[in-house]
Amino acid sequence: MQDYSLFETTNFNHFLELVRGMKDAASAGHFGAVQAGYRQALYESREYFSGSEAPRAISYFSLAEFYRNKGDEPGFNKVKSLLQDLLGV
């Protein structure tokens, strides 16, 4: 189940864009779109994470997107490290 190639593919950026879309939808009051985005992110993250790890991974992706958006490279790298720990890398 755990595929360690997550950081070597465009999927990492894809997950960051998914959570960014969820945040944008929440800001616009489109909570159905937030739910749909979350379900999609959970489903797709199971390629890399177990079902019990997937929600935590989505939270980490959300934090990573936040730090990337703010230009906080140390924060971004810390969250990326947490994701790597979750993957067992």
CA–CA separation, 26 vs 14, rounded Å? 18
Q: Please give the pLDDT value at position 64.
A: 94
pTM of the model: 0.85
Q: Please give the pLDDT value at position 4.
A: 53
Q: Please give the pLDDT value at position 87.
A: 87
* pLDDT tens digits along 2-54: 455 677 667 889 999 999 999 999 999 999 999 999 999 999 999 889 889 99
What is the domain partition of the chain in residue ranges? 7-87
* pLDDT tens digits along 42-89: 999 998 898 899 999 999 999 999 999 999 999 999 999 999 999 886
Residues 12, 58: contact at Cβ < 8 Å? no
